Amino acid sequence: MSTISRDEVAHLAGLARLAVSEEELDRFAGQLDVILDAVARVGEVAADDIPPTSHAVPVTNVFRPDEVREGLSREQALAGAPATEENRFRVPRILNEEA
């Protein structure tokens, strides 16, 4: 038994502004029936005593905890730079702006 009619498919197509042929109306009605049946089966399985979940398996944080550590000194950071100026990295100018 069909749960969605050709007229309902035509109405939905009109709402979506889709041009649907007569053959497509029959095909889409059958496909939508399959989808509605599948959704109904899922509704039958869902029980009130089962809490909803967002993931099938427990999710744990994979990041390490933040810890304050000693960083590089200015001299250590600039030691590998190809060029420095006034204790900063010197890079080529990329914009034609006056300094």
Question: Which residue type sits at 94?
Answer: I
Q: Which pLDDT belongs to residue 46?
A: 65
Q: Which pLDDT belongs to residue 86?
A: 93
Q: Which pLDDT belongs to residue 13?
A: 94
Domains with residue ranges and CATH for the chain: 6-45 (1.10.20.60)
Q: Which pLDDT belongs to residue 99?
A: 58
Q: Which pLDDT belongs to residue 25?
A: 93
User: pLDDT under 50 in the chain at which residues?
Assistant: 1
Distance CA 21, CA 63 (A): 54
Could you report the per-residue pLDDT of 64-81, keeping only the tens digit for each?
Answer: 888 999 999 999 999 989
Distance CA 28, CA 26 (A): 6
